[in-house]
Amino acid sequence: MSHIPTYVYVLFLALLWLGVTRCFPRNIRVARLLVLPALMVVLGIRGFFGLFPTPTLVDLVAALAGGAIGAAFGWHHVRRWVLRVDRAARMITVPGDVMMLAIILGTFAFEFALHYGVQAQAAWFTASPVEPLAAAIWSWFAGMSAGRNLNLAMRYFDAAPVRAAETPLKS
């Protein structure tokens, strides 16, 4: 493990901290619900094309299937959460949940394993199912985040609007 760059350890600790903070109830600005899914998609596409520059139709189908399954899983996971919606502040309060810690650490471990396979010239990395499996797993992680946050956003917008008496007074 001495050949692993120091920034990988720093990145791991930062991601671990980020994931642990998601295990506790917190307030989220509604606009931020787009950030993590977009980041997961961009990083997934960048990571996949960085390791596999010429995807096949099988890879694309695997990615679509992984994304759809992940989105359904993410949506289903948060459907029973009790949320507090503050339309005036455009915020929602969500309960603590270990799912984001699992997504973050799972993505890190997956990326680490793939990059290790490249650097070590591992035989398993050149096996035929690795590329479509990688596409499916990357999009599954992104889909889980997207499904989760789409559910939260829909529930925010479906919440009762703020009544005039609840609107803060402007000076």
Q: Region 137-149: what's the mean pLDDT?
A: 92
78 contacts 148 by C-beta, under 8 angstroms: yes
Token pair for 166: 């609840």
Q: Region 43-62: what's the mean pLDDT?
A: 89
Residue of 99, 116, 120 whose CA lies nearest to 8:
116
CA distance 135 to 153: 26
Query: Could you report the per-residue pLDDT of 108-121, keeping only the tens digit for each?
Result: 998 899 888 888 88
Q: Region 148-157: what's the mean pLDDT?
A: 94
Q: What is the pLDDT of residue 169?
A: 41
pLDDT at 104 over 50: yes
- Average pLDDT taken over every residue of the chain: 88
Q: How far is CA 123 from the centre of its chain?
A: 29
- pTM across the whole model: 0.81
Which range has the top average pLDDT, 64-78, 123-137, 148-162? Answer: 64-78
pLDDT above 70 covers what percent of the chain? 92
Token pair for 62: 């695997």
Q: Region 139-168: what's the mean pLDDT?
A: 81
| CA torsion angle 36 37 43 47 (round to 10) | 140
Among 2-6, 31-35, 69-73, 74-78, which stretch is predicted with the lowest mean pLDDT?
Answer: 2-6
Q: What is the pLDDT of residue 171?
A: 42
**Residue linked to tokens 């479906």:** 158
Q: Which residues contact 169 (CB under 8 A, 6 or more apart)?
A: none
Q: What is the pLDDT of residue 20?
A: 96
